[in-house]
C-alpha cells in the first residue's frame, strides 16, 4: 500500500535559551489511506511539532515530507494553501476565535469555496457524522470537553480531506467520551478511507489505532518486524516502560 | 445471544457503483459458541465485525445482542457497549512500543479507570493462561509475532466481555504459531462460555469452530471446505 503521507529522516530542533533542543531526530513514518496511526509521547515530546511538519506548517531542518508522492518543500505557497484547503484536515480543540454557533464554525472552511447553501449543508452532514447534529445552534463555551472534541473533528472533516491530523483529541475526556472519540476516528479511517494521524499523551487512547508509534527523546519508535532470534530470558538491557496512569476527569470527580 | 437480522451495509467510493460490503446477512451466535466466517479479502468480513462492534451503523437490518439492538445505540451508548461488553482481537498488532507486555495487556482496563496496579493484577492470570508468564516484562520488539498476538488476546479478554470478535487473529502468523494462537483463544473462550465470531481466510481455523460460514461479496452461505480453500487462495 503506497503511503499518502511519508516522513523520511525528518529532524527538527529549536533554540531554547543558549541550548539547541533537538525535538525530532531522523523520524520516519508512513500513513496510508484508511489507516489510523497514533503517535504516543509525553507532553513536550514533540508530537505537535511532528503534526505541523506533516502539514508543512513548520519546516523540518532535515528530511523530506511527501504527500501523495509530492515533496511538500517543493510546493509554492498557493499550492500549499490549496492542499490545506482541499486535502488536509487539522483537528485542534482551540475552537472558534469569535462567538459563532457551531454550524457556522463547521461551515467556515467551505464558505469561500462552495457558497453559503452548500457549505451549510456540508456542515450539517459533518455534525451529523460525528453525532453532534443537535449542537448546531450552540456556542463553543456551552459545550463539554467531549462535545468540543467531536465538533473539532466535524470542523476537520467538513472539507472531505484525504488526511486528518488530530492533536491530542482525548485530553480531559472521561472514559466513555474517549472511547466515543477514538471509535469515531477509527471509523473515519475504516469507512471513509481517510488517513488519520493522531497524537496522544494518554496510552489507553491508543487502542483503536491500526499502528502505534512512540515518540521519546526525539526518536520515533515503530514496532519492528519479529527479530530473527528471541531470547527467553527477561530483557536486561533496559527497563521496559510502565504505564503511569493519569487520573481522568471521571475518576477525580 | 448475538443475532444479525438482514444486515446491509453498502459503501460508495466517489461516483462509482456502491460496493455491497455486507448484503443481507443473518446470523445467530449462542453463548459459548464459536462461529467462524471465511472469506477472501474484500468479502465484507471486517465490515461485518465493525457493524457488530457498533463502529459502523448498518444501512438496514439489526444487530441484536441479548435482545438489545446495537445498531440503534447512540454514539455514547455504543462506546459504553464496546468498553464493557465486547472483546475485539484485531488484525493489526497495535502494541505500544517500549512498554512491557503486561502493561500493554492491561491497557484496556487502565482505560476504564481501573488503577494500574489492579489492572496488572487482573491481567496476570490471563497472561499465564496464554503462556506469557515469562514474557511479562518484555517489550513488543522482544516478542515474537505469536506472542504479540497473545498479548492482544489478553487485552481483549481482560474486561471479561460476553462477546469476542476476532479479525484474522492468525493473519500475521505462520501455520504453527497460528495453530497455537487459535488453540489458546478458543480454549479460553470455551472455558468462559464466551460467544466468539472469528473471521479468517485461514482454513485451519475451521477445526476450532462450532459452525463455519462463507462470506463472499457481502453474502453469507454455509461452509464448504473446497469453497474455503478457494477463498484462501483468493485472499
What are B166's strand-pairing partners? B89, B198
Domains of chain B (ranges, CATH numbers): 2-99+144-234 (3.40.50.300)
Which tens digits make up the pLDDT trace of A18-50? 888 899 999 999 999 999 999 988 888 899 999
Residues B67, B90: Cα–Cα separation, whole Å: 25
Strand blocks (E) in B73-121 = 86-89
pLDDT of residue A213 exceeding 70, the answer is: yes
Burial class (CB in 10 A: 0-12, 13-18, 19+), A69: exposed
Instruction: Give the strand pairing for A62-67 and A5-16.
Output: antiparallel
Pick from A241, A210, A175: nearest CA to A41:
A241
- Closest chain B residue by Cα to residue A186: B55
Model pTM score:
0.79
Say how many C-beta atoms besides its own lie within 10 A of residue A247's C-beta.
10
Average pLDDT in chain A: 85
**Core vs surface per residue A205-242: b (16+ CB within 10 A) or e:** bbbbbbbbbbbeebebbebeebeeeeeeeeeeeeebbe
Mean pLDDT of A171-189: 87
Q: Measured between beta carbons, which residues in chain A are less than 8 angstroms from residue B137?
A: 234-235, 240
Contacts of A232 (CB under 8 A, 6+ apart): B134
Tell me whether residues B139 and A241 touch, CB distance under 8 A.
yes
Q: Measured between beta carbons, which residues in chain B are less than 8 angstroms from residue A203?
A: 96, 99, 107, 110-111
Q: Measured between beta carbons, which residues in chain B are less than 8 angstroms from residue A132?
A: none
Tell me whether residues B94 and A230 touch, CB distance under 8 A.
no
Pick from A196, A193, A194, A192: nearest CA to A182:
A196
Which tens digits make up the pLDDT trace of B1-30? 899 999 999 876 556 677 788 889 999 999
Residues B11, B19: Cα–Cα separation, whole Å: 5
Nearest CB to A207 within list B100, B107, B148: B107
Q: Where are the domains of chain A?
A: 1-87+161-224, 95-160
Q: Measured between beta carbons, which residues in chain A are less than 8 angstroms from residue B107?
A: 203-204, 206-207, 243
Residues A27, B62: Cα–Cα separation, whole Å: 45
Tell me whether residues A250 and B139 touch, CB distance under 8 A.
no
pLDDT of residue A51 exceeding 60, the answer is: yes
Residues A211, B97: Cα–Cα separation, whole Å: 10
CATH of domain A1-87+161-224: 3.40.50.300
Phi, psi of B234 (to 5 degrees): -65, -35
Say how many C-beta atoms besides its own lie within 10 A of residue B183's C-beta.
12
The interface predicted TM-score of the complex, written ipTM, equals 0.71
Q: What percent of chain A has pLDDT over 90?
A: 49
Residue B63: all three cell numbers together: 444487530
Tell me whether residues B100 and A240 touch, CB distance under 8 A.
yes
Average pLDDT for runs of 10 along chain B of length 235: 92 69 91 88 82 90 94 88 89 81 92 88 94 92 89 93 90 82 88 91 80 86 58 47
Question: What 3-state class would DSSP assign to A26?
Answer: strand
Measure the CA angle with vertex A21, ends A15 and A27; round to 5°: 125
Amino acid at each position: 500500500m503506497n503511503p499518502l503521507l511519508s516522513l523520511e529522516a525528518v529532524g527538527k530542533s529549536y533554540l531554547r535559551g543558549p541550548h539547541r533542543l533537538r525535538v525530532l531526530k531522523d523520524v520516519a513514518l508512513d500513513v496510508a489511506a484508511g489507516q489510523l496511526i497514533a503517535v504516543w509521547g509525553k507532553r513536550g515530546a514533540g508530537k505537535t511539532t511532528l503534526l505541523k511538519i506533516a502539514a508543512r506548517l513548520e519546516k523540518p531542518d532535515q528530511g523530506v515530507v511527501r504527500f501523495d508522492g509530492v515533496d511538500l518543500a517543493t510546493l509554492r505557497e498557493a499550492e500549499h494553501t490549496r492542499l490545506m484547503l482541499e486535502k488536509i484536515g487539522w483537528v485542534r480543540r482551540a475552537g472558534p476565535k469569535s462567538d459563532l454557533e457551531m454550524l457556522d464554525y463547521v461551515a467556515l472552511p467551505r464558505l469561500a469555496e462552495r457558497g453559503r447553501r452548500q457549505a451549510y449543508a456540508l456542515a450539517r452532514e459533518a455534525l451529523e457524522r460525528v453525532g453532534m447534529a443537535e449542537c448546531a445552534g450552540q456556542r463553543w463555551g456551552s459545550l463539554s470537553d467531549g462535545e468540543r472534541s467531536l465538533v473539532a473533528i466535524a470542523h476537520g472533516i467538513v472539507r472531505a480531506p484525504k488526511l486528518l491530523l488530530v492533536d491530542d483529541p482525548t485530553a480531559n475526556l472521561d472514559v466513555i467520551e474517549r472511547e466515543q472519540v477514538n471509535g469515531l476516528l477509527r471509523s473515519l479511517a475504516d469507512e471513509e478511507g481517510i488517513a488519520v494521524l493522531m497524537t496522544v499523551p494518554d496510552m489507553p487512547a491508543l487502542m483503536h489505532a491500526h499502528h502505534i508509534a512512540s515518540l521519546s527523546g526525539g526518536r520515533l519508535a515503530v514496532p519492528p518486524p519479529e527479530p530473527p532470534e528471541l531470547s527467553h530470558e527477561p530483557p536486561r538491557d533496559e527497563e521496559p516502560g510502565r504505564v503511569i496512569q493519569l487520573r481522568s476527569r471521571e475518576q477525580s470527580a | 445471544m448475538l443475532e444479525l437480522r438482514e444486515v446491509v451495509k453498502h459503501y460508495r467510493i466517489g461516483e462509482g457503483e456502491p460496493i455491497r460490503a455486507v448484503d443481507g446477512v443473518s446470523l445467530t451466535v449462542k453463548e459459548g459458541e464459536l462461529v467462524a466466517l471465511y472469506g477472501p479479502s474484500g468479502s465484507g468480513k471486517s465490515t461485518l465485525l465493525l457493524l457488530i462492534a457498533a463502529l459502523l451503523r448498518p444501512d438496514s437490518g439489526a444487530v441484536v445482542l441479548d435482545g438489545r439492538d446495537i445498531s440503534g445505540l447512540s454514539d455514547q451508548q455504543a462506546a459504553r457497549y464496546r468498553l464493557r461488553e465486547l472483546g475485539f482481537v484485531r488484525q493489526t498488532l497495535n502494541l505500544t512500543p517500549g512498554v512491557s507486555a503486561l502493561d500493554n495487556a492491561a491497557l484496556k482496563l487502565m482505560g476504564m479507570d481501573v488503577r494500574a496496579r489492579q489492572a496488572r493484577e487482573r491481567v496476570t492470570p490471563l497472561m499465564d493462561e496464554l503462556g506469557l508468564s515469562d514474557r511479562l516484562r518484555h517489550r513488543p520488539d522482544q516478542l515474537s509475532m505469536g506472542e504479540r498476538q497473545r498479548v492482544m488476546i489478553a487485552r481483549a479478554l481482560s474486561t471479561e466481555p460476553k462477546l469476542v470478535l476476532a479479525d484474522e487473529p492468525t493473519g500475521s502468523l505462520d501455520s504453527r504459531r497460528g495453530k497455537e494462537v487459535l488453540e489458546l483463544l478458543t480454549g479460553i473462550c470455551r472455558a468462559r462460555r464466551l460467544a466468539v465470531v472469528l473471521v479468517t481466510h485461514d482454513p485451519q481455523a475451521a477445526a476450532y469452530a462450532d459452525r463455519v460460514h462463507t462470506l463472499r461479496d457481502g453474502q453469507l452461505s454455509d461452509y464448504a471446505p473446497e469453497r474455503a480453500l478457494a477463498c484462501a487462495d483468493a485472499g
